[in-house]
């Protein structure tokens, strides 16, 4: 896609920021860089959204500042990209996660929200299982919840809090000790008030919301039999891909066209006739897009 989906751009900037922090880069410099990257790409080529892109960008920049500030407070190991592993004479596996110096793998899974029932899907997918069986090293999944977008704004304590309607001078709150909702309280947005990210995160920690938003789950390596079987499946998929001549001969993946959100390639796949993809102005070749892994 030529224009970015806001969450995809946010995820790319956050992952890059996490990697920079893990290399020991200065926090302020890392946040400035992440926000600069977001605002630059949000301005050109732009965001794919029906809402106010400037307000949405400011909210996502707030989340970048608070989330990176919080992560700088918890131990971040030094990370690197694992080397590519040859599986046979024609196939090699490129990792999509980070690794620390002990060899343990780390993947940052950025989600709108998370429940325990989401874990099997994350453990079984190719990106987790493939990296595990090829490396034979355990993986730490770092689940990072950033909330859903409602009315064009990300609704998450990383950028949104509440103030008491009768006593606005009291501190910003994120969770009430009684467990009740904030009915009647004033909503405050970090992008619209003068809190620093440091102050905001300290208040989040005080209300004990960060433990619900960031979780760390270890996934162990399966048995040797399972590992060998999965590697056989990978090489078999690679062979099948090699045998595909023209991609136009492949059947459409119709179950995926309207999944979590409408697939952005519907303009191509559901056109009346074959289209010149690059000529549409909506897409550009993948080789020219900068991809951040992890
Ligand atoms: S619209 Fe998307 S999911 Fe559906 S066939 Fe095209 S590329 Fe695949």
CA–centroid distance, 288 to ligand 1, in Å, is: 21
Counting from 1 in the atom list of ligand 1, the atom nearest the Cα of 259 is 3
Residue numbers of the chain with a pLDDT score lower than 70: 75, 286-294
- List the residue whose alpha carbon is closest to atom 3 of ligand 1: 257
pLDDT recorded at residue 287: 60
Q: Which atom of ligand 1 is nearest to the CA of 252?
A: 5
pLDDT of residue 294: 42
C-alpha dihedral (98, 101, 102, 106), degrees to nearest 10 = -20
d(CA 146, CA 155): 8
Kindly give the number of the ligand 1 atom that is closest to the alpha carbon of 268: 6
What pTM was estimated for this model as a whole? 0.86
CA distances from 224 to 42, 125, 228, 229, 237 (A): 46, 18, 6, 8, 20
Best residue among 247, 255, 260, 263 to mutate for probing ligand 1's pocket (most ligand atoms within 8 Å of CB) is 263
Nearest residue (by CA) to ligand 1, atom 1, is: 266
Which pLDDT does position 202 carry in this prediction? 96
Give pLDDT tens digits for 127-160: 999 999 999 999 999 999 999 999 999 999 999 9
pLDDT at site 195: 87
pLDDT at residue number 280: 87
Mean pLDDT of the chain: 91
Instruction: List ligand 1's pocket residues with C-beta within 6 A.
Output: 252-253, 256-257, 263, 265-266, 269
């Amino acid at each position: 896609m030529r224009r970015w989906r806001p969450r995809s751009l946010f995820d790319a900037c956050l992952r890059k920021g996490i990697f920079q922090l893990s290399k020991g880069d200065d926090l302020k410099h890392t946040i400035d860089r992440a926000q600069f990257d977001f605002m630059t790409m949000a301005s050109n080529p732009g965001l794919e959204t029906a809402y106010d892109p400037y307000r949405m960008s400011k909210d996502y920049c707030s989340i970048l500042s608070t989330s990176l500030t919080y992560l700088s407070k918890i131990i971040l190991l030094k990370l690197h990209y694992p080397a590519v592993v040859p599986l046979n004479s024609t196939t090699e596996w490129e990792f999509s996660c980070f690794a620390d110096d002990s060899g343990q793998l780390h993947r940052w899974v950025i989600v709108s929200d998370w429940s325990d029932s989401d874990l099997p899907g994350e453990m079984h997918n190719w990106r987790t299982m493939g990296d595990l069986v090829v490396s034979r090293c355990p993986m730490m999944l770092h689940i990072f919840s950033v909330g859903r977008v409602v009315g064009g704004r990300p609704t998450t304590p990383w950028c949104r809090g509440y103030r008491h309607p009768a006593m606005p001078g009291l501190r910003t709150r994120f969770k009430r000790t009684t467990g009740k909702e904030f009915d009647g309280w004033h909503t405050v947005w970090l992008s619209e008030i003068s809190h620093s990210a440091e102050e905001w995160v300290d208040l989040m920690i005080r209300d004990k919301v960060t433990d619900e938003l960031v979780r760390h789950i270890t996934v162990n390596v399966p048995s040797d039999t399972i590992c060998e079987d999965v590697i056989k499946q990978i090489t078999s998929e690679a062979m099948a891909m090699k045998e595909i001549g023209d991609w136009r001969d492949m059947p459409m993946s119709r179950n995926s066209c309207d999944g979590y959100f409408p697939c952005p390639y519907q303009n191509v796949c559901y056109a009346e006739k074959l289209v010149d993809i690059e000529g549409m102005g909506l897409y550009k070749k993948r080789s020219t897009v900068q991809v951040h892994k992890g």
